[in-house]
Amino acid sequence: MPRRRFLRIFGASTAAVAGGLWRTARRSAAVPANLTLAFWNGLTGPDGRVMEGIVADFMSQHPTIKIEQQQLPWTDFHTKMLMSIPAGQAPDVAIMHTYEKPRYVQSGALTEFSDADLQALGFQQKDFAPRAWDGGIYQGKRYSVPLDIHAMCLYINNPLFKSANLWVDNEPKAPRNQAEFLAACQALTKGDHWGVAWLQRGVGWAFQMLLWQNGGDMFDAQGEPTLDSPAAIEAMQFIQDLNKKYHVTPEGITGNPAEAFQTGKIGMAVHGDWLTPAFVAANMDFTVVPAPTFFKQRAVWAGSHQFYLPVQRRPDSAKREAALVFIKWISEHSLAWAQGGHIPARTALTATPGFRARKQAVLLTDGSYWHFMPAVPKILVEESLITAAQEQIFLGRATPKEALRSLNDQIKRARI
């Protein structure tokens, strides 16, 4: 090859390679070297373990970003958040739901996601389930972006269903309404087996679902509680009747939801889909089906985990950028997150065979009945007080009417 031509080719390719390297170097410079993000959430259940694994994966693929995850039970979580943010000690990224926005916005605790942020994330409305996407907006501003949707479901203990003759065509005969539910409970309750463990230790989410199914509401248009309405009392009475009247649940307060069902002595459980990984890990033979309609209209308690970027006393754009990288990555890998029992908010992922094989995939059929918790400032007060109120009822220290009335008064008195 003539020398001049060789030199020309050599020069051009060198320039091309150098130019490519130069661009790559610039892009890497855009990701800051070695920073740490504080990531808080309330995922203390079995799904929390899954999130730990996902975060570890993220860190192994992004050696320059270290994530310090802190998981607190939800009530403690909100306390620490609402105290830390004004103190300038906010985490860099957090996961919450959709209903906390009024309370947090009231405290000036949340930053908005700008259009530029959404572009950096590559998030577009068409890629997400509408409820999850819209759930990020409050008073016309976007304060969060979606991760998943989770819903209440019915867990069925297969062996117990089989032995109670509730098995048809290789599938459990899942109850769809109150009458079928009670019949199933009674068929399942024998010996030391119980029909259902109504999972009292928690924030009374199942009660909320029954309330909505009975046509009632938790809060009125002014954000004041309506938890002592006749619909609410009737819903709570039904829960209590399961124990006192029909005797299909164990006496006393069940300590821990997962544990009760995991003993294998309970036929059914009504709880959120996030318990699925625990039962899978325990090698239980169980089925997930949509929750029954206990009262006059169908409604399914549901929620959506969303990513938030709290207000920082000293905003750090490098950290915010890294947080967006983090959020984007998790969202793109939310099929792995589905191991936690949830439904990814990305509609493309829910159509994949990988997701369809999951136990909670069946809950997608409930899409039009999903009922989120109300976004009012006092919702957090309700969450912190409902457990004690329910316990009063199950202990027999108060009738549903009395306990709900005093709970309602307590929430009204709260000066938020």
Q: Which residues bind other proteins (CB under 8 A)?
A: 38, 44, 48, 52, 68-73, 75-76, 79-80, 82-84, 86-89, 107-108, 251-253, 255-256, 258-259, 381, 384, 387-389, 391-392, 394-395, 397-398, 406, 409-410, 413-416
**Which of residues 102 and 290 has its CB atom nearest to other proteins in the complex?**
102
CB of 177 to other proteins, least distance (A): 30
> Could you tell me the sign of the dihedral formed by the alpha carbons of 168, 174, 180, 186, in that order?
positive
* Cβ neighbourhood burial of 386 (10 Å; 0-12, 13-18, 19+): buried
33: helix, coil or strand?
Answer: coil
d(CA 45, CA 258) in angstroms, rounded, equals: 9
d(CA 17, CA 37) in angstroms, rounded, equals: 35
**Which of residues 18 and 388 has its CB atom nearest to other proteins in the complex?**
388
d(CA 85, CA 73) in angstroms, rounded, equals: 18
172: helix, coil or strand?
Answer: strand
Query: Phi then psi for 341, rounded to 5 degrees?
Result: 100, -5
CB of 400 to other proteins, least distance (A): 13
CB of 65 to other proteins, least distance (A): 15
Residues 6+ apart with CB under 8 A from 32: 64, 318, 321, 322
The angle that helices 230-244 and 205-213 make with each other, rounded to 10 degrees, is: 120
CB of 403 to other proteins, least distance (A): 8
CB contact at 8 A, 174 and 366: no
CB of 168 to other proteins, least distance (A): 34
d(CA 27, CA 291) in angstroms, rounded, equals: 49
**Which of residues 40 and 307 has its CB atom nearest to other proteins in the complex?**
40
Residues 6+ apart with CB under 8 A from 135: 98, 144, 146, 304, 306, 372
CB of 319 to other proteins, least distance (A): 16
**Which of residues 87 and 357 has its CB atom nearest to other proteins in the complex?**
87
Q: Token pair of 236, please?
A: 């709570």
CB contact at 8 A, 150 and 342: yes
CB of 120 to other proteins, least distance (A): 27
d(CA 240, CA 271) in angstroms, rounded, equals: 17
**Which of residues 190 and 397 has its CB atom nearest to other proteins in the complex?**
397
CB of 384 to other proteins, least distance (A): 6
**Which of residues 123 and 155 has its CB atom nearest to other proteins in the complex?**
155
CB of 389 to other proteins, least distance (A): 8
**Which of residues 370 and 394 has its CB atom nearest to other proteins in the complex?**
394
**Which of residues 183 and 280 has its CB atom nearest to other proteins in the complex?**
280
307: helix, coil or strand?
Answer: strand
**Which of residues 8 and 397 has its CB atom nearest to other proteins in the complex?**
397
